[in-house]
Amino acid sequence: MSTPCYHCGERCPQDLDLQVELLGRPRPMCCPGCALAAGLIADAGLMDFYRFRTELAPRVEQHLDWSSFDHPQIRDRMSALGTDGERQLHMNVGGLRCGACAWLIERRLSELEGVVSVQVDLGTGDTWVRMDPDRPVSEVMAAVAELGYSPRPAEQGAAGRALASERRDALRRIMVAGIAMMQVMSYAVGMYLGAFQDMGPTEARFFRLISLVVTTPVVFFSAVPFFRGALRGLRNRQPGMDLPVSLAVGIAYAASCINTFRGAGEVYFDSVVMFVFLLSAARYLELAARRRAQSWVGDGREAPTLARRLHADVATMVPAENLRAGDRIRLLAGDTVPADARIVEGELACDESLINGESEPLERTPGQDVFAGARCVSGPAELEVLRSGDDTLIAGLQRQVSQAQAQRPPLSRLADRIAGRFVVGVLIAAVASAVYHAGSGDALGTALAVLVVTCPCALSLAVPTALAAASGRLSAMGLMPVRAGAVERLAGVDTLALDKTGSLTRGRPALIRTVLLGDLDRREALALAAALEHGSQHPIARAFETYADGRKAEALRELPGSGLSGRVGRRRLQLGRPAEGGLPADADPGLTWIQLEDQDGPLALFGLDDPLREGCRGSLEALRAGGLALAILSGDRPQTVARIAEQLDITAAQGGMRPEDKRRWVQDRQSEGRRVAMLGDGINDGPVLATADLAIAMGRGAALARASADLVLPGDSLRPLARGRALATKTLSVMRQNLVWALAYNAVALPLAMSGALAPWMAAIGMSLSSLVVVVNAARLSAGEARDAVPARSVRDDGPRMAAG
Amino acid sequence: MSAIYFLIPLTLLLLVLAVVVFFWAIRDGQFDDLESPGFRVLLDEEERGRDDSGGPQETDDDDR
């Protein structure tokens, strides 16, 4: 029974005893990163963060180097010098969970020297910092990262600006429609009352005129997007919901204008404005939910890299994009490979997990190639650049992703399919009723009544309201819909293919077992190993960092075969692979074993493995119970994959797969008629994700995977997926209910209107009621089961208060 | 009754003014961030640059 970290909520390792005094009591911490962040918060007097937060903080990851952002070329893309001589830095921060996080960042950054003002937009994570132009930008970003958040450059380019202006445009239209609606509704009430109280013709005329004047900007400004959408649909021969909407608005408005100048007949200005306002608002909400997720996800590019270019043995730091084929570069341990290159001198071990899913670093010798995006675990080496910038393997993958996405068939919505036929039906009905009443009554008036009453108010609201409610709820659950159609696709899939490294496992080795061979106790053995591994870039080092007690080894040397040697105190230590037969009989052969020994003999054996994510088994069970067939497609070694598959009880599992193999597997299933969802986190998964019917990316994975996904799991757990799927299915059924209701309403109202028995006030009330029913039904999706703000990351009751519900 | 012939156009004038003000507010970025101002009120007890030297520096509700 392990305790949760007070800062981030993750489980603390059993033998770790790290505590920080917060709010008057010592609190457990899960790792030095969280402890450091908590300590920073306490020392800076920002304890209010723990008092007021409504969500747990993100887990603090270390090992990131922000100095590349100080390079002028890169820095100037993120910031500009203002007229007052200050630098205005614009970045995007990920991991903001609630208001207190944004407050924390603002306060912490304000305390940095040279920072004048900070502003954080909680909704999108966009952060603006005004600072002294001589202070390094990297300092600001490192301060944010220390607290556990992820700072990223916010592209100041066209894309960001376009999105912002689109949003403002939508707001303007909604505002005009809303203000006009309030006015016209009140005039309409006056007219209805006047009809009962014998209003004179002059007054009636006045009201109609004034309603016309106020409605006009709504039709010619606020409703324009609908007209554009309808025209586009007609041109592509795929009429969507915009068509009946535009027809209803246009015809009702035109007819009402005619009647105003005729002086007789009914006017429907109030219905027109109400309709435009409600629909614009519903679509805006749906768009806003997606936009927020999109800004979180970013544009698919990793942080810019710097390269050490050699020129007659002098190394200069240049941005990776400046490299040309034939340049000589030097790579040291910890660097990210800036371009596809061939080793000329020295040896390099590279962690290519983000590129091909292989979780073990591979040793490379002169003559072999390394690829841009890999991380160097050991060095140094001199290389010659083969391909840079757009020609690298990664860039190729990015292009494949965009291509695949462009070719993806658009989601055909039930509502859009109905829309075309609906229009035809209504027009026929209107003409028929006009013909029928041609001799005996008010033909034009009846035809208009038909058109107005069958106004697709409820029909067009059916889908966007449900999606807006569902998107908000999904985000709260820990699943972010990023692309349009994500929710419908989630409900429609029947197969889930998972990558292993990064999705099912953390992608980092962790200590599983310790076997003591000498006279040391466990804590001391681990601390010694940590002292040796301190500063090493090898993934194995991460497994030991939580056990460090501050000591560092001296005379540290790397041995061939990933070994280390050094001196701590009086012990001359060595950490490396155990000799043949050095493992005890009951040692699990599936673990990676390394042995710690000193000059007197072996001290301890450590068994490492890349463990399953927490709650993995439970989440997969829930998914299977929800009707999903599970499979593992991984680029990792088949033996490792087989072991995991066995633990999780999954029969369809394959290792050693390359991206093309994965893509073929997905396509084979699709041709069998199945709908496949793919979960991945590496760059190599980008093209496969675009092929699948639904692409899910892990938040901590490669930026490219995130940007090509439909859904993103920002947390570390797969738990939200099962509940998200249940919600998506429910959303689809709510959409269907809404559509059925809308059509039923029209079916009832239509005969009434055709027979001429429908008064305009009945039509108006009918439209409002039907829309109300649709909206309330959709709102059921946001209410739902209350207690799932942060699933199963329980915090003690004297800790932060969870958001109500 | 004839009053409305005057009053309603007057309200229209005010409405146009309201729309103009809204448009300015949108352009000025007032609607760009609708969430932060809410929590800011709760948390900022010492504002920078405020002449608050006499006020209490620490909150006294440590027993939450």
Say what angle helices A616-625 and A719-754 make with each other, to 10 degrees: 30
Buried b (16+ CB within 10 A) or exposed e, A624-642: beeebbbbbbbbbeeebbe
User: Are the C-beta atoms of residues A631 and A652 closer than 8 Å to each other?
Assistant: yes
pLDDT at A219: 95
Three-state DSSP at A34 gives: helix
Q: What is the pLDDT of residue A221?
A: 95
CA dihedral of residues A541, A542, A547, A551 (deg, nearest 10): 50
pLDDT value for A585: 74
pLDDT of residue A373: 78
DSSP bridge pairs for A94: A150
Alpha carbons A429 and A341: distance in angstroms, whole number: 70
pLDDT of residue B10: 93
B48 with A23: Cβ contact below 8 A: no
Q: Is A14 helix (H, G, I), strand (E, B) or coil?
A: coil
Q: What is the pTM of this model?
A: 0.71
* Cβ A289 vs Cβ A475: under 8 Å: yes
**Interface predicted TM-score (ipTM):** 0.72
CB contact under 8 A, A123 and B39: no
**Confidence (pLDDT) at A700:** 65
Which of B23, B33, B46 should we substitute to test contact with A (largest number of A Cβ atoms within 10 Å)?
B33
Residue spans of alpha helices (H) in A497-610: 522-533, 539-544
CB count within 10 Å of CB A218 equals 27
CA angle centred on A572, ends A568 and A574, rounded to 5°: 100
Nearest to A171 among B4, B31, B44 (CB): B31
Pairing mode, strands A87-94 and A126-131:
antiparallel
Averaged over successive runs of 10 residues, the pLDDT of chain A (805 residues) comes to: 71 72 84 79 82 71 68 80 85 73 86 88 78 88 83 60 78 94 90 79 87 95 93 82 85 88 82 89 80 60 70 78 85 82 87 66 85 80 87 77 67 74 81 76 70 78 84 81 84 87 74 83 86 77 79 78 79 81 71 83 84 80 88 81 83 81 88 88 71 82 70 79 89 89 85 75 77 87 56 33 32
Residue B60 has pLDDT above 80, yes or no: no
Q: Judge: B39–A99 Cβ closer than 8 Å, yes or no.
A: yes
Place of tokens 């008092």: A51
Q: What is the pLDDT of residue A454?
A: 76
Choosing among A49, A103, A115, A212, which should be mutated to test the B contact, i.e. which has the most B CBs within 10 A? A103
Compare CB distances from A121 to B8, B32, B48 and report the shortest one's residue.
B32
Q: How many CB pairs under 8 A join A and B?
A: 77
**How do strand A652-654 and strand A629-633 relate by DSSP bridges?**
parallel
Centroid of chain to Cα A743 = 35
SS3 B45: coil
Cross-chain CB nearest to A103 (options B5, B43, B64): B43
- Measured distance CA(A208)–CA(A270) in Å, rounded: 10
Q: Name all contacts of B51-59 with Cβ < 8 Å and 24+ positions apart.
A: B59/A48, B59/A51
Nearest to A179 among B15, B32, B64 (CB): B15
Q: Are strands A495-498 and A629-633 parallel, antiparallel or unpaired?
A: parallel
CB contact B35 to A (< 8 Å): yes
CB of B24 within 8 Å of any CB in chain A? no
Q: Which of A1, A781, A66 is nearest to A464 (CA)?
A: A781
Residues of chain B contacting A798 with CB distance shorter than 8 Å: 64
Angle between helices A457-477 and A242-262 (to 10 degrees): 140
Q: How far is CA A644 from CA A285, A609, A653, A715, in A?
A: 42, 11, 9, 21
Q: What is the pLDDT at residue A409?
A: 63
- pLDDT of res. A64: 59
Task: Compare all CA atoms of chain B with the CA of A205 and give the residue at the minimum distance.
Answer: B5
Suggest the residue from A47, A49, A51, A174 to mutate for an interface test with chain B (most B CBs closer than 10 A). Answer: A51
Question: Taking the mean position of all CA atoms in its chain, how far away is CA A756?
Answer: 52
CA–CA separation, A650 and A496 (whole Å): 11
Name the residue in chain B with its Cα closest to that of A199: B1
Q: How far is B17 from chain A (nearest CA, A)?
A: 11
Q: For the range A655-662, what are the long-range contacts, defined as Cβ-Cβ under 8 Å and sequence gap of 24 or more?
A: A655/A500, A657/A633, A658/A356, A659/A397, A659/A635, A659/A684, A659/A685, A659/A687, A659/A688, A661/A633, A662/A497, A662/A633, A662/A688
Percent of chain B with pLDDT over 70: 53
Q: What is the mean pLDDT of residues B55-60?
A: 37
Angle (CA) A221 A281 A167, round 5°? 70
Residue of A nearest to B34 (CA): A123
Distance from CA of A190 to the nearest CA of B (A): 11
The pairing of strands A126-131 and A306-311 is unpaired
Containing H/E element for A77?
Answer: helix A72-78
Nearest to A359 by CA among A150, A580, A704, A643: A643
How far lies A334's CA from each of A214, A371, A535, A555, in Å? 65, 15, 9, 20
If residue A252 lies in a helix (H) or strand (E), which one and from where to where? helix A242-262
CB atoms within 10 A of CB B44: 14
Return d(Cα A119, Cα A105) in angstroms, integer: 9
Is B60's Cβ below 8 Å from some Cβ in A?
no
Burial class (CB in 10 A: 0-12, 13-18, 19+), A773: middle
- Of A291, A243, A238, nearest in space to A413 by CA: A238
DSSP symbols for A131-143:
E-TTS-HHHHHHH
Instruction: Round to whole Å and give the CA distance between A226 and A445.
Output: 25
Q: How far is residue B27's CA from residue B7's CA, in Å, rounded to a whole number?
A: 30
Q: Which residue has the tokens 């001290």?
A: A603
Predicted pLDDT of residue B22: 93
* Residues of A in Cβ contact (< 8 Å) with B33: 121-123
Q: Are A633 and A354 in contact (CB under 8 A)?
A: no
pLDDT score for A195: 75
Question: Which pLDDT score, from 0 to 100, does residue A412 have?
Answer: 64
Flag if B26 and A122 touch (Cβ within 8 Å): no
Element (H, E) at A653: strand A652-654
pLDDT at A161 (0 to 100) = 63
pLDDT reported for residue A156: 39
Chain A within 8 Å of B53 (Cβ-Cβ)?
A: no
pLDDT the model gives residue A184? 93
Task: Answer for the pair A446, A756: CB distance below 8 angstroms, yes or no.
Answer: yes
> Model confidence over A405-445: pLDDT tens digits?
666 666 667 777 777 788 788 888 888 877 877 766 667 66
φ, ψ for residue A628 (rounded to 5)? -95, 135
Q: Given this model, what pLDDT does residue B15 score? A: 92
Q: Give the mutation candidate from B43, B50, B57, B60 for the A interface (greatest A CB count, under 10 A).
A: B43
Would you say how long chain A is, in residues?
Answer: 805
CA atoms of A609 and A290, how far apart (whole Å): 38
Q: Give the residue from chain B lying closest to A292, CA to CA.
A: B33
Confidence of residue B52 (pLDDT cuts 50, 70, 90): very low
Asked if B39's CB is within 8 angstroms of A172's CB, the reply is no
Backbone angles phi and psi of A153, in degrees to 5: -70, 135
